[in-house]
Amino acid sequence: MAKRDYYEILGVAKNASEADLKKAFRRLAMKYHPDRNPGDKSAEDRFKEAKEAYEVLTDPQKRAAYDQFGHAGVAGAAGGGARGGASFSDIFEDIFGDIFGGGRGGGSRVYRGADLQYNLELTLEEAVFGTEVKIRVPSLVECGECHGSGAEKGTTPETCSTCGGVGQVRMQQGFFSVQQTCPRCHGTGKVITDPCHACHGQGRVEEHKTLSVKVPPGVDSGDRIRLSGEGEAGLNGGPPGDLYVQVHVKPHKLFTRKGNDLLCEVPISFTTAALGGELEIPTLDGRVNLKIPEETQSGRLFRLRGKGVKSVHGGAQGDMICRVSVETPVNLTRRQKELLRELDETMKAGGSRHSPQEEGWLDGVKGFFEDLKFWNR
């Protein structure tokens, strides 16, 4: 299979500087390094591909040959190290410094930027169907004046005279020699004598940025959306952190979500519960008719298949569960009260069991007191 263009692999222009190449490779290495993608053969291949491109393009002679003859000009040369035979571990430490737990010392350490979190409130409809929202996030970004160095334009940080640029100093305490972070440069190995006027030597400034967040259908409270590289800028050229958008779904006036199901409380009249009827029920897809059979008791559940939520995590679409609640009539007229009394008298006189739950409860009460008398003898 034909090899991909090295510039295309790193995502840089053909006139990219060595700093641009380093930045591009750092980004790809952070994403595809085998330590961050254990068992992922595809990620390992992408990492090896990026490493090969970086090794060739950062070697002036190999790059010139590649620019003139393509892959044929560097056949057999790639993969053997860069900059005069340096091993990949040398390249890795040169690029990342102490970002993964310590380099060889000598030179400024680079640090990955901090991750940020943004709390995003959504309506139930937005969470179920998905949406796209704009958010405004405060963040520390690379200073445009000094490009992250912290030094005033035209100057560069100087090697720390206390630690010699190592970032560590050795202290003798009796028979023991203790190594600790340099108190002058705080482990960076560099000292800024002329700080940048824009960032005051920090290398980063606070800005607000507006981002577009695509919310997939089916998210729920507690889900997070990761925006890679949208966190705080790194220090000394380190990679930026990520932004995590934390989803919070606001309460709905009609529905309560439980997993993939939607729960809905439906009040019905005494007459509808006794004689049956048909109600128009709202769903997130529109309106549907719910048939209420006669003699329906308060608390009965009705399930509407497929009227729930399709979760972003997969699985079958949920249902809508309607719980009916029989309302006691209020504001009755004198005539209406008389009719209810007549109805009550006819039901008592008929001998039929018109209130099975009430009669069953009364039977239980009677049995309870009989048992109580037996144990109190």
Q: What is the pLDDT of residues 190-211, one digit of tens each?
A: 888 889 988 888 888 888 889 9
pLDDT at 6 over 80: yes
**In the structure encoding, which two tokens stand for residue 36, read together?**
């961050």
Amino acid at 254: L
Torsion, Cα of 361, 363, 367, 369 (10° steps): 70
CB-CB contact of 97 with 107 (8 Å) = yes
Minimum mean pLDDT among 237-241, 254-258, 314-318: which range?
237-241
Q: Which residues of 250-375 form beta strands (DSSP E)? A: 255-258, 261-268, 277-283, 286-292, 301-304, 320-326
Paired strand residues for 206:
140
Q: Which has more confidence, 124 or 33?
A: 124
**In the structure encoding, which two tokens stand for residue 325, read together?**
């609640």
Pairing between strand 204-215 and 131-142?
antiparallel
CB-CB contact of 254 with 267 (8 Å) = no
Q: What is the pLDDT of residues 134-150, one digit of tens each?
A: 999 888 788 888 888 88
Residues 286, 325 share a domain:
yes
Residues 261, 310 share a domain:
yes
Q: Is residue 354 in a domain?
A: no
Q: Is residue 335 in a domain?
A: no
What share of the chain in percent tops pLDDT 70? Answer: 81
Predicted TM-score of the model (pTM): 0.56
Residues 244, 259 share a domain:
no
Single out the residue in 234, 251, 268 at which a domain terminates. Answer: 251
Residues 227, 150 share a domain:
yes
Residues 2, 89 share a domain:
yes
Tell me how far apart the alpha carbons of residues 284 and 256 are, in angstroms, rounded to a whole number.
12
Residues 78, 40 share a domain:
yes
Amino acid at 10: L
Q: Note the pLDDT of residue 87.
A: 39
Single out the residue in 251, 267, 302 at which a domain terminates. Answer: 251
pLDDT at 310 over 70: yes
Tell me how far apart the alpha carbons of residues 126 and 167 are, in angstroms, rounded to a whole number.
51
Paired strand residues for 118:
245
Q: Is residue 263 in a domain?
A: yes
Q: How far is CA 119 from CA 9, 137, 224, 225, 226, in A?
A: 35, 10, 9, 10, 12
pLDDT at 100 over 60: no
Q: Is residue 139 in a domain?
A: yes
Residue 199 labeled ligand binder: yes
Q: Is residue 45 in a domain?
A: yes
Tell me how far apart the alpha carbons of residues 167 and 85 are, in angstroms, rounded to a whole number.
27
Q: How confident is the model at residue 275 (pLDDT cuts 50, 70, 90)?
A: very high
Q: How confident is the model at residue 84 (pLDDT cuts 50, 70, 90)?
A: very low
Side-chain half-sphere CA neighbours of 229 within 13 A: 10
**Selection from 112, 90, 237, 108 nearest residue 166 by Cα:** 108
pLDDT at 329 over 80: yes
**What are residue 73's phi and psi, to 5 degrees?**
-70, -20
Residue 146 labeled ligand binder: yes
**In the structure encoding, which two tokens stand for residue 167, read together?**
């970032």
Residue 322 labeled ligand binder: no
Minimum mean pLDDT among 199-203, 227-231, 270-274, 328-332: which range?
199-203
Count how many domains the chain has.
Answer: 3
The stretches of 39-192 forming alpha helices (DSSP H) are: 41-57, 60-69, 88-96, 124-129
Q: Is residue 244 in a domain?
A: yes
pLDDT at 106 over 80: no
pLDDT at 34 over 70: yes
**What are residue 345's phi and psi, to 5 degrees?**
-65, -40
CATH number at residue 303: 2.60.260.20
| Furthest-apart CA atoms within the chain: distance in Å | 110
Q: How confident is the model at residue 94 (pLDDT cuts 50, 70, 90)?
A: very low
CATH number at residue 17: 1.10.287.110
Q: How confident is the model at residue 69 (pLDDT cuts 50, 70, 90)?
A: confident
Minimum mean pLDDT among 29-33, 102-106, 181-185: which range?
102-106
Tell me how far apart the alpha carbons of residues 302 and 324 are, in angstroms, rounded to a whole number.
8
Q: Note the pLDDT of residue 166.
A: 79
Mean pLDDT for 345-355 is 72
- Which H or E run includes 253? none
Q: Which has more confidence, 33 or 377?
A: 33
- Domain, as residue range, for 278: 255-330
The stretches of the chain forming alpha helices (DSSP H) are: 6-10, 18-32, 41-57, 60-69, 88-96, 124-129, 270-275, 334-350, 356-375
Residues 70, 201 share a domain:
no
pLDDT at 85 over 60: no
Residue 264 labeled ligand binder: no
Q: How confident is the model at residue 279 (pLDDT cuts 50, 70, 90)?
A: very high
